[in-house]
Structure 1
Amino acid sequence: MTELVLDAFVTAVIAASDYEEMDRIYLKNRVRSRIGEEGLDLPAHQADLIALKDQLVEIAVANSKIQDSMAAKDSLGAELMDWITPSPSQVNRYFWETYPQSKEDAIADFYALSKRNDYIKVKAIAQNIAFEAETPYGSLEITINLSKPEKDPKDIAAAKLAKASHYPACQLCFENEGYQGRLDHPARANHRIIRFDMDGHDWGFQYSPYAYFNEHCIFLDSQHVPMAISRKTFERLLTIVETFPGYFAGSNADLPIVGGSILTHDHYQGGRHTFPMEVAGLDQAFTIPGFEGVQVGIVRWPMSVLRLKSENKGELIDLADHILESWRSYSDPAVQILASSNGEAHHTITPIARIRESKFELDLVLRDNQTSDEHPDGIYHPHADVQHIKKENIGLIEVMGLAILPPRLKEELKLVQHYLLGQVNGVAKYHQEWADDLKTQHPDLSSEEESQEVVRVSVGNIFARVLEDAGVYKRTEEGQVAFRRFVTSLGKSKS
């Protein structure tokens, strides 16, 4: 016999939390207060806790307990899942009691909780379209991001009329923990942050709700302070990969155009994933005078990357800081590289840290945010002819070889596939030239599978071109000679 939805939800809550059978009546009454009286005697559609939560949210809409909007549904859903989520102090106590026995278990348990309580949107993430495409730089990863929902038009309209709020100051602030949410700010009632000390300063560790890769997480400053790449960045990233074994840690750049989406709050991203850039080999190895204990190489990659590797953490940090300071003031007009113009600084670094083969490793990606009349979006930004696929900033994740492409491409790429098979007469205007070129190159396609493969390979190669556009030293003889000039200057400029 199918269990009624209210009973099934409460049974699942008891099974997944510290609540006990004695708490059943209490829990049922608390659900009634939020959902309403009608509809709770309906049969449960599924036994899964998150599915039961979703069913209760729809009942609340039918009972007019909440508005039929995405923001209201998310807010109530997070509140219901908060009942299976221990308090922040309990979550932290369990994490740090487990950590001395097994760092891996402490991390794994927190990750499991973040999925179990629907903070990590596992069901939504599964909707993403993901594939790999072979390119001259190896196999690149492509994701069409369908997990993060587009804003509800009703919420957008209501938010325009709502009183402005600046609490929390941004979506990365600690104040998000337990926040009910509002029309223009996500619900975080079921959100938890692991606190940890980094050089005497409080930092947090949390997972990304709409993860782009395995165990995608965020390390965030407890204070709402702007991002800044400095020696401290390298120190912190290496501390993080020591503290959280098996994870990489990296930072977006700290300048507009080449930076990430949130530059107002200092944070890093990490996770348990091997990106294409990590497995890329070296074009050339160097030793920088004065830093003989650090292996240095130019990575065989479309962007301009120096890989530093050493068992000596301190010397590695010293060299990374030296490269950062040198790059900030380095110009080479012969290849359109300028440290600054009109009083505006152009140079910074996107750093990525990991521990590999018992050595500390830092990949330093050189960035330049100049613009020009020809490239108003950025000289080292996806150029106009590839923006039909990717026009957004190239942040940390893309730098490492994982393309995060917009949802519009789901249907647009299908249409291109149909065009190649002669099933439609045209595609989106900004794709037409590309589609015509593909049709000329592949005139005899006869199946959906063939056309999909052609389109996906082409998308992968366009993404490689996007990364080449973002590379400050081009993959030409002239560009690579100029790159080596910069590397040589590192030895000369060391005091």
Structure 2
Amino acid sequence: MNSVIDQAITDFIQIGYINEDIHPLDLLLKQNQLLALVGKQALNTDLTAATLLPDRLDVLDSLVNYAVKKKIISDNESERDILASKIMNLITPLPSEINRKFWELYQESPAAATTYFYNLSQENDYIKTRAIEKNIEFTKTTIYGDLEITINLSKPEKDPKQIALAKTAPASFGYPTCLLCMENEGYEGHLNHPARSNHRIIRLKINQNDWGLQYSPYAYYEEHCIFLSQEHKPMKLEKATFAKLLNIVERFPHYFVGSNADLPIVGGSILSHDHYQGGQHTFAMANAAIDFPFELKDYPTVAAGLVEWPMSVIRLSSTHQADLTAAASMILDKWRSYSDESVNIIAHTDGELHNTVTPIARYNDGKYELDLVLRNNRTSKEYPDGIFHPHSDVQHIKKENIGLIEVMGLAILPPRLKQELAEVERYLLEEPNQLDLSHKQWADELKNSSTITKETVGTIVKEAVGSVFLRVLEDAGVFKQSAEGKAAFKKFATFFC
């Protein structure tokens, strides 16, 4: 066993040296730090690194498994992640060095800077590339473009023992305040907080405010990044939000950036910390055409139009950031107080506001663009989860909030569907199965509408899942794609003409 672990330590340090993650003068220091992390007091120095070096993440697994076997750590996902993060921290530069190099590369180009930071975040295992590869991905062609479907298998599910341990551990020590706070940088983590020893954040100013840039550990698309406020404060959509989004795409023109809505049901999962999501990915909504152009009488430099999309989207574009910011703010203010009971839109009940937007910014063909997706979080007896939320007949596939990423055309579906859809396929083929009852009506409809064989069943189910996601987006749209809904949307647009 000692020879195996000694070889793993030797190889890990050599990989760091070859990749220039470890300076020659730091080799012994890093080697001794690694020995301490895995609970060894000595190393066979007669060993040499393997001629053909293994993958670094495979070596990482060997190191963590050794620590488990020697009872240096317990065999649960949390303690394994904490140790792995500490080990990868050995080859991760300090924040000061990463920020220095990032901004040095930024002078070459913004894309060069983000490519450096993105690659580093993958190589040091902060971005969980192996877990992300487990996700099931496919597309659904629709009249609105190709919707993207992801069954999210990347985030590990806690085993029963770890769940039991987590219940007895403190839920929070009050530090870091939340998962997005900058205090997470380098934080060890514990049973109820993810390991962050190898986590790094780029510091930057957004409209003269202190912000950070990091990547998502479980990315859903290319260069999935997060811009976060240094101050822990709630998300709030206001005029300054649009200015900050446009300032970000000015500084990173190869990225889109957007904000979740700021109300429950239609908002994101973390409304307590002001942050945005972005990245280098083109979603179907970005390619959607303008269905109904209109003029903004008070902002002649801003082009406006209703977008051909299942949700209700107003697209603004201009070369003038200030005018675009002001126009977006005007539309948000009007929408906050807008009601049209003929299409079930009510702005507020008993003093509670219901209208907000999901804004997305990008730089496109020399102009700044802002997409404002109109949202309403009202509930009713018929729709207790939300009138403009996935309705009950599609919740067997998607019942969670429709956030920024889904709005743009990428479904993030729960991991339970991997097994559940396999059972649907067996049911359709009339094989022994354990079909979840929530899928039965849907499966029966598929069975009655298609000729199903072993060769076609997988495609049929995926197509059907894509159709359900389209319905999810239509449910979330405040102005429906019916003639009545389109007329009501155009009526709203005429207030600005």
TM-score for the superposition, normalised by structure 2: 0.95
**How far off its partner does 1:124 sit?**
0.7
Alignment match of 1:453 (pick from 455, 459, 462)? 459
Q: Does 1:208 align with 2:216?
A: yes
Out of 118, 125, 133, the residue aligned to residue 125 of structure 2 is 118
Residue 478 (structure 1) aligned with residue 484 (structure 2): yes
Matches of 1:274 and 1:18, distance apart in 2: 32
- How many Å separate the matches in 2 of 1:152 and 1:220? 31
Residues 341, 453 of structure 1: CA spacing in aligned structure 2 closer, same or farther, 3 A cutoff? Answer: same
Q: For 1:50-79, what per-residue CA distance to the aligned partner results, in whole angstroms no more than 9, with x for missing partners?
A: 221121011000011111111111111011
Contact 1:17/1:83 (8 A) holds in 2: no
The equivalent residue for 2:226 is 218
| Contact 2:480–2:486, Cα closer than 8 Å, also in 1 | yes
Structure 1 residue matching 2:90: 3-state secondary structure: helix
Tell me, yes or no, if the aligned pair for 1:257 and 1:393 is still in contact at 8 Å: yes
Cα distance in structure 2, aligned partners of 1:17 and 1:169 = 35
1:424 corresponds in structure 2 to: 432
Contact 2:362 2:370 in 1 (8 A): yes
Assess, with a 3 A threshold, how the Cα gap between structure 1 residues 22 and 88 changes in structure 2: closer, same or farther. Answer: closer
The separation in 2 between residues aligned to 1:31 and 1:380, in whole angstroms, is 53
Separation of aligned partners in 1, 2:100 and 2:143: 48
Q: Which runs of 5+ in 2 are unaligned?
A: none
Q: Could you tell me how far apart the structure 2 residues matched to 1:292 and 1:50 are?
A: 55
* Cα distance in 1, alignment partners of residues 256 and 42 from structure 2: 47
Does the aligned pair in 2 maintain the 1:17–1:84 contact within 8 Å? no
1:88 to 79, 89, 95: 95
Residues 293-312 of structure 1 deviation map (CA, whole Å, 9 limit, x = unaligned): 21111111110000111112
Residue 389 in 1 paired to residue 397 in 2? yes
Tell me the equivalent position of 1:197: 205
Tell me how far 1:151 sits from its aligned partner: 2.4
Q: Is the 8 A contact 2:253 2:362 kept in 1?
A: no
Choose which of 136, 156, 175 in structure 1 pairs with 2:183: 175
Shift in alpha-carbon separation, 1:299–1:79, aligned structure 2, 3 A: same
The question of whether the paired residues in 2 share the 8 Å contact of 1:416 and 1:427 is answered with: yes
Aligned pair 1:345/2:348, yes or no?
no
Whether 1:300 and 2:308 are equivalent positions in the alignment is: yes
- Match for 2:272: what amino acid? T
Does residue 1:377 correspond to 2:380, yes or no? no
Q: Which of 144, 158, 163 matches 1:151? A: 158
What amino acid does structure 2 have at the position aligned with 1:170? C
Partner in structure 1 of residue 34 of structure 2: 31
Match of 2:54? 47
Equivalent-residue separation in structure 1 for 2:353 and 2:462 (angstroms): 38
**1:39 Cα offset (Å):** 11
The percent of aligned pairs where both chains have the same amino acid is 53
Q: Secondary structure at the match of 1:364?
A: strand
Residue deviations 1:401-453 (CA, integer Å, cap 9, x gap)? 000000011111112122222223662100001001100011x32223x1111
The residue that corresponds to 1:238 in the other structure is 246
Evaluate the alpha carbon distance shift between residue 171 and residue 180 of structure 1 in structure 2; reply closer, same or farther with a 3 A threshold: same
Deviations 1:70-97 (A, max 9, x none): 1111111011101111101111111112
* Deviation (angstroms), 1:4: 1.6
Equivalent position SS for 2:212: strand
Displaced runs of 4 or more, over 6 A: 38-46
Cα distance, 1:202–1:474 mapped onto 2, change above 3 Å: same
1:262, distance to aligned residue in structure 2 (A): 0.1
Unmatched runs of 5 consecutive residues or more in structure 1: none
**1:224–1:265 CA contact under 8 A, matched in 2:** yes
1:251 partner letter: S
Partner of 1:4, secondary structure, is helix
In structure 2, the CA distance between the partners of 1:372 and 1:140, relative to structure 1 (3 Å rule), is same
Q: Aligned to 2:65, which of 55, 58, 66? A: 58
- Contact 2:151/2:418 (8 A) holds in 1: yes
Compute the displacement of 1:38 (Å): 9.2
Alpha-carbon distance in structure 2 between the residues aligned to 1:369 and 1:74: 37
User: Aligned to 1:267, which of 266, 275, 282?
Assistant: 275
Name the SS for the 2:74 alignment partner: coil
**Letter aligned with residue 386 of structure 1:** V
1:371-427: per-residue Cα shift (whole Å, max 9, x none)? 000000000000000000000000000000000000011111112122222223662
Residues 26 and 13 of structure 1: is their aligned pair in 2 closer, same or farther, counting only changes over 3 Å? same
1:439 aligns with 2:439: no
User: Could you say what secondary structure the match of 1:84 adopts?
Assistant: coil
Structure 1 residues 40 and 423, CA gap change in structure 2 (3 angstroms): farther
Q: Which residue of 1 aligns with 2:193?
A: 185
Paired residue secondary structure (2:156):
coil
Q: CA RMSD in A?
A: 1.9
455, 464, 468: which one pairs with 1:462? 468
